[in-house]
């Protein structure tokens, strides 16, 4: 049986994608997206000076087990199991609150992270911070909530000794590209994704990302990039 929450989440996500990129663009990109899930990988060097953090439109705090219901209200596609798994894996969730309402979440990892949208593990370098996922409530978008969270994250990561901040963005996601690439000054370091081949997926990785037996790993910038490493991986 399909849970109502899942249905609401999937339908809601579809409407949201249409709102984000426009119906015409969805119709143009959807066939390609169904066949090939391609994400662009961006990196920001944290050893160079960072711009100051702008004024914050929301109250931020680290989220924990008491916030599962609020997280599911914000993004119903996230199951309680998935949320707990992320914490078990050592991921960090920072929330943005308007009064008692959670309107933003940002998931980050220092170390390997299972990415549900890729269906595999991504292993950054020990000195990398990986932005796993972020979500702003549709009614509070375009107010800089994600941009300020990204600035805060860069400073936090640098202060914690990270040398680089990494993020993956679906190639069609204009809002996320504005924040991740344009506002944060990240540079494109590779791509990763898979071809949908019915019962299997054919993964690919380019640039500083590499496929290996356990998923995808990230090379240091000074290692020669792997171009189009391809393996077949069964669907989970």
Ligand X SMILES: CC(C)(COP(=O)(O)OP(=O)(O)OC[C@H]1O[C@@H](n2cnc3c(N)ncnc32)[C@H](O)[C@@H]1OP(=O)(O)O)[C@@H](O)C(=O)NCCC(=O)NCCS
Interacting residues toward ligand X by CB under 6 A: 20, 133-136, 141-147, 169, 173, 175-176, 178-179
Q: Are 108 and 91 in contact (CB under 8 A)?
A: yes
Q: What is the 3-state secondary structure (H, E, C) of the chain?
A: CCCHHHHHHHHHHHHHHHHHHCHHHHHHHHHHHHHEEEEEEEEEECCCCCCCCCCCCCEEEECCHHHHHHHHHHCCCCCHHHHHHHHHCCCEEEEEEECCEEEEEEEEECCCEEECCCCEEEECCCCEEEEEEEEECHHHCCCCHHHHHHHHHHHHHHHCCCCEEEEEEECCCHHHHHHHHHHCCCEEEEEEEEEEECCEEEEEECCCEEEECCEEEECCCCCCCCCCEEEEEECC
Nearer to ligand X, 171 or 223 (CB): 171
Nearer to ligand X, 22 or 220 (CB): 22
Burial class of residue 27 in the structure, from the number of CB atoms within 10 Å of its CB (0-12 exposed, 13-18 middle, 19+ buried): exposed
* Nearest distance, CB of residue 153 and ligand X, angstroms: 12
Nearer to ligand X, 94 or 134 (CB): 134
* Nearest distance, CB of residue 103 and ligand X, angstroms: 9
Residue nearest to ligand X (CB): 142
Nearer to ligand X, 22 or 161 (CB): 22
* Nearest distance, CB of residue 1 and ligand X, angstroms: 27
* Nearest distance, CB of residue 138 and ligand X, angstroms: 7
What's CA 10's distance to the chain center, in Å?
Answer: 18
Nearer to ligand X, 163 or 181 (CB): 181
Nearer to ligand X, 146 or 153 (CB): 146
* Nearest distance, CB of residue 95 and ligand X, angstroms: 13
* Nearest distance, CB of residue 224 and ligand X, angstroms: 27
């Amino acid at each position: 049986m399909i849970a109502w929450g899942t249905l609401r989440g999937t339908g809601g996500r579809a409407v949201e994608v249409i709102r984000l990129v426009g119906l015409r663009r969805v119709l143009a990109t959807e066939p390609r997206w169904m066949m090939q899930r391609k994400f662009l990988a961006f990196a920001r060097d944290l050893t160079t000076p960072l711009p100051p953090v702008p004024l914050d439109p929301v109250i931020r705090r680290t989220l924990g087990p008491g916030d599962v219901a609020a997280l599911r209200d914000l993004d119903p596609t996230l199951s309680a199991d998935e949320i707990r798994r992320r914490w078990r894996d050592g991921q960090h969730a920072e929330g943005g609150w308007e009064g008692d309402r959670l309107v933003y979440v940002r998931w980050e990892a220092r170390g390997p992270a299972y990415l549900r949208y890729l269906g595999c593990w991504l292993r950054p370098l020990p000195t990398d911070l990986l932005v796993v996922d972020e979500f702003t409530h549709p009614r509070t978008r375009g107010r800089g909530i994600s941009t300020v969270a990204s600035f805060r994250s860069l400073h936090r990561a640098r202060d914690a000794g990270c040398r680089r901040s990494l993020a993956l963005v679906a190639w069609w996601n204009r809002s996320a590209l504005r924040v991740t690439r344009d506002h944060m000054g990240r540079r494109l370091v590779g791509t990763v994704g898979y071809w949908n081949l019915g019962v299997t997926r054919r993964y690919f990785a380019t640039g500083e990302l590499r496929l290996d037996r356990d998923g995808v790993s990230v090379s240091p910038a000074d290692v020669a990039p792997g171009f189009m490493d391809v393996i077949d991986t069964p669907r989970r």
